[in-house]
Amino acid sequence: MMGIGIDIETIERFEGEAMSRNGSFVSKIYTEAEIEYSFSKKNPSQHLAARYAGKEAVIKACSSIGIQIINYKEIEILNNEQGVPLVKTHNEKINALDIKVSLSHCTDKAIAFALISN
């Protein structure tokens, strides 16, 4: 069984008051580790947008194999020691799956691709 998902976001959408460290959108979507990582960077909005795109890509990949995810915090996108993004899950339905994600951003867009296999 294999699923794929992709998402692209406009970085400008992740700027402003709702996107502040304590903003309502940020607290609903991101885990504390994702918030810490993103706000440790010079331009947090790029990293928030990339992680949001990653979560959306994982949700789409799961959906393509019949698994529905409702809570964005069930998907946590962190980086390993080499800076490679990795997915940590907090959902029994997807814990056993092998999930790979690739994130990228430029000045105005962020994109993510997810591949799921078991």
Express each pLDDT in 83-110 by its tens digit: 999 999 988 888 889 999 999 999 999 9
| Strand pairing report for 98-105 and 109-117 | antiparallel
Residue type, 18: A
Q: Domain of 111: which CATH number?
A: 3.90.470.20
Instruction: Name the residue with higher pLDDT: 73 or 70.
Output: 73
Q: Which helix (H) or strand (E) holds 4?
A: strand 2-10
pLDDT, tens digit, 9 for 90 and up, residues 30-52? 999 999 999 999 999 999 999 99
Q: Which of 48, 49, 15 is nearest to 34 (CA)?
A: 48
Domain extent at residue 47? 2-117
Q: Which of 19-23, 31-35, 63-67 has the lowest mean pLDDT?
A: 19-23
| Percentage of the chain lying above the pLDDT 90 cut | 82
Total domain count, the chain: 1
pLDDT at 92 (0 to 100): 85
Round to whole Å and give the CA distance between 38 and 19: 11
